[in-house]
Amino acid sequence: MIGAFAHLLERLAFTPQRKGKLAHLVGYFRTRPDPERGLALAALTGDLELRAVTPSLLRGLVAERVDAELFALSYDFVGDLAETIALIWPEERGAQELPLADLIEELQRTGKTALPAVIATRLDRMTPSQRYAYLKLATGGLRVGVSARLARQALAEFGGLDLPEIEELWHGLVPPYTELFVWAEGGAKPVSAARAPFRPVMLSTPTDLEALQDLAPDEFLAEWKWDGIRVQAVSEAGTRKLYSRTGDDISAAFPDVIAAMDFEGAVDGELLIRRGAEVAPFSDLQTRLGRKTVSRKLLESHPATLRLYDLLIWEGRDWRSEPFAARRLALEQTVAGLDPARIDLSALLPFDNWKVLAALRANPPEPVIEGLMIKRRTSPYLGGRIKGHWFKWKRDPMLVDAVLLYAQRGHGKRSGYYSDFTFGLWDGDQLVPVGKAYFGFTDEELRALDRFVRNNTVDRFGPVRAVEPTKVVEVAFEGLNRSTRHKSGVAMRFPRISRLRDDKPAKEADHLSALLAMLPER
């Protein structure tokens, strides 16, 4: 029922702890019937295929029922479109409880022309809580702090199953996953129909020099951490797939890599744009991400390559239980037969103590290197973030002191706070916007920033407030690229507010020239 699903979403949204979210999900799976629980699982993992319900469609509906100024003010305050409509929508008839499956089927089969009327009719017969769940379901923007992996973890806990086993089956199953729940309740394990399936990716934990002192250097191997995206390349029985680290199929955007996967097996690596021996900045890779087709011109100007890290499956043999040192040796032997222009191997780094490795980290040979990967020689390949096996030692972030210029309310749990900030640097006697950040600060710092915005607003542009340019913040970021889309001429990678600099006046914030000096040489 939509009411039970709405109650689940509310509990998930207001439960910050991972354990609490898992408990709510397990409880829902235990008490709700099929196909309702499977459809809820699919909604949380993003695997429901629904006709796109766009923000413009919803705004058009609410404009017919609610005064435009009232809605604009309400949306500005709430910060979430679905929540605003759920609260402000005028009820015309008594609320009606409907099966979740019926609502989903209706959204799937209704044509584009008839969809607005169908949604309006449903909203008329729902409570605010039901409307919120229905709109979140229809738009696909649940935002309740549950990742697809966490949702699958809840299924594993519900049935006492092994999460990696579930994830290996996942791509061959479809909602409402009835066979998965049969298995979870003691029935037969389902058989996946997927060809070239995704296997759960092994992840690393952050480390630093101090933490490494407790480990024996000779028990580890190290390699560069490249600034691309982690992928799994699978070629089995004539089917070739390229998956992101979360299991999304990105094959369509990289036909050049797919064509070079002339092997039988599954490998782990980094997807990069490479021109000869030179690895391009991450922004070049972003140009191709998310595309369903790629033009010949883009294939030529942004050639994609695969830099291999690990071996999972090769010619029918599963290597994942073997130690990393053995997998690495086998990988070196297998990659020799592949096209080196498209697929190569991440080199191992020579070191015999942590200080030597620290020196390498401090002076990488290429600016696109993010840091180091450190892997225990004996580690098997295990899906997920398994402590003690793999570590990432990233380069220190770049830092600038910037001045807050604009602020906007956040979404979801942050809808009551100004949490999205635009900041700038000095260019002569003018402040020039150079980036945006919406994380990095503590809850206490968020409240302080919110108070500053409310007390120092000098202008408004719809939901955006311009503030008195007096607040200095330290901004950390992972990389910097040239950009013609930004007035400053540069774009930061992963910017976040790392510290409030209340000790520093705005006139002492950094200048644009200092930021430009951080650009890698062409």
The pLDDT tens digits for 350-390 are 999 999 999 999 999 988 898 999 999 999 999 888 889 99
Could you tell me if 351 and 221 lie in one domain?
Answer: yes
pLDDT higher for 494 or 94?
A: 494
Taking 60 as the threshold, does the pLDDT of residue 450 lie above it?
Answer: yes
Could you tell me if 314 and 406 lie in one domain?
Answer: no
Could you tell me if 408 and 385 lie in one domain?
Answer: no
CATH label of the domain that carries residue 389: 3.30.470.30
Mean pLDDT check: name the lowest of 64-68, 189-193, 382-386.
189-193
Taking 90 as the threshold, does the pLDDT of residue 454 lie above it?
Answer: yes
Does residue 189 lie within any of the structural domains? no
The closest alpha carbon to 457, from 447, 474, 445, 471, belongs to: 471
- Give how many domains the chain has, as a whole number: 3
Q: What is the pLDDT of residue 467?
A: 95
- Residue 412's pLDDT band (cuts 50, 70, 90): low
Other C-beta atoms lying within 10 Å of the C-beta of residue 485: 6
Q: What is the pLDDT of residues 205-242, one digit of tens each?
A: 999 999 999 999 999 999 999 989 999 999 998 999 99
Does residue 177 lie within any of the structural domains? no
Could you tell me if 434 and 372 lie in one domain?
Answer: no
Residue 453 belongs to what domain range?
398-516
Could you tell me if 368 and 457 lie in one domain?
Answer: no
Could you tell me if 260 and 132 lie in one domain?
Answer: no
Length of the chain: 522
Q: What is the pLDDT of residue 219?
A: 97
Could you tell me if 382 and 403 lie in one domain?
Answer: no
Does residue 156 lie within any of the structural domains? no
Does residue 186 lie within any of the structural domains? no
Could you tell me if 96 and 66 lie in one domain?
Answer: yes
Looking at 117, 139, 161, the residue that finishes a domain is 139
Cβ-based burial of 442 (10 A; exposed 0-12, middle 13-18, buried ≥19): exposed
Does residue 170 lie within any of the structural domains? no
* Residue indicated by tokens 């923007």: 141
Q: Is the dihedral of CA 34, 143, 226, 370 positive or negative?
A: negative
What angle, rounded to 10 degrees, do the helices at 36-45 and 18-31 form?
A: 150
CATH label of the domain that carries residue 39: 1.10.3260.10
Could you tell me if 243 and 387 lie in one domain?
Answer: yes
**Distance (Å, whole) CA 220 – CA 369:** 20
**Distance (Å, whole) CA 301 – CA 288:** 11
The closest alpha carbon to 490, from 479, 505, 474, belongs to: 479
Whether residue 176 has a cis bond before it, omega within 30° of 0: yes
Cross-strand bridge partners of residue 234: 241, 266
- Residue 521's pLDDT band (cuts 50, 70, 90): low
Looking at 371, 394, 417, the residue that finishes a domain is 394
The token pair at 50 is 């629904």
**Distance (Å, whole) CA 102 – CA 142:** 19
Q: Is 241 a catalytic residue?
A: no
Q: What is the pLDDT of residue 173?
A: 86
Does residue 194 lie within any of the structural domains? no
Q: What is the pLDDT of residue 169?
A: 84
* Residue indicated by tokens 């449903």: 122
Mean pLDDT of 290-317: 94
DSSP sequence for 368-436: TEEEEEEEETT----SEE-TTTEEEEEPPPEEEEEEEEEEEE-SGGGTTSEEEEEEEEEETTEEEEEEE
% of the chain beyond a pLDDT of 70:
98
Could you tell me if 263 and 345 lie in one domain?
Answer: yes
What angle, rounded to 10 degrees, do the helices at 115-124 and 128-139 form?
A: 160
The token pair at 225 is 């951490």
Whole-number Cα distances in Å, 313 to 319, 330, 331, 374, 405: 6, 11, 10, 22, 52
Could you tell me if 249 and 381 lie in one domain?
Answer: yes
Q: What is the pTM of this model?
A: 0.73
The token pair at 477 is 């970021």
Looking at 139, 155, 176, the residue that finishes a domain is 139
CATH label of the domain that carries residue 469: 2.40.50.140
The closest alpha carbon to 475, from 419, 431, 515, belongs to: 515
Does residue 179 lie within any of the structural domains? no
Helices (H) and strands (E) in the chain, counts: 20, 22
Kindly name the residue from 21, 136, 225, 471 that is annotated as catalytic: 225
Could you tell me if 328 and 221 lie in one domain?
Answer: yes
